Amino acid sequence: MNIFLNRVEDFIDIEFAYIFGSYARGEENINSDIDIAIMPNLTGIDKMTELFTRGNLIEIGKEIFNRDVDIVFLNTDSVFLKYHIIQEGIVIRDDIGRSGFESLVLREYFDFKHYSDYYNEHMLNSIRSTE
């Protein structure tokens, strides 16, 4: 994993990173991809450059691990995915800013979870009533 992270840092600065998904749970199989979440320092980088950077990192991962790799940038993904990552993920690169990030994600998740649960319940009831 360090080989991958060191190669990634040729493109971007990494504040911290996690591995998550089947590899973090120890449930990987021959068809599993490797899910990696990165908190990049992308100050001053436009969205298009960010997308190309993510694509380059995926290609680096495929080359190093000889399997599909999915890269998640933690600064842009949903609070639900971030929550899932910090709950089940394994920290593979650490930084002092990670604890603040995790605290913020937990606050945002629990602030929004009530509304999400309410919406989901009403949506399911609506679907059931049309059956």
Q: What is the pLDDT of residues 77-87, one digit of tens each?
A: 899 999 999 99
Q: Which of 22, 39, 31 is nearest to 91 (CA)?
A: 39
Which pTM value belongs to this model? 0.83
Ordered domains of the chain (ranges, CATH): 2-129 (3.30.460.10)
The answer on pLDDT for 114 being more than 80 is no
- Residue 101: which residues within 8 A CB-CB, separation 6 or more? 16, 39, 74
Q: How confident is the model at residue 70 (pLDDT cuts 50, 70, 90)?
A: very high
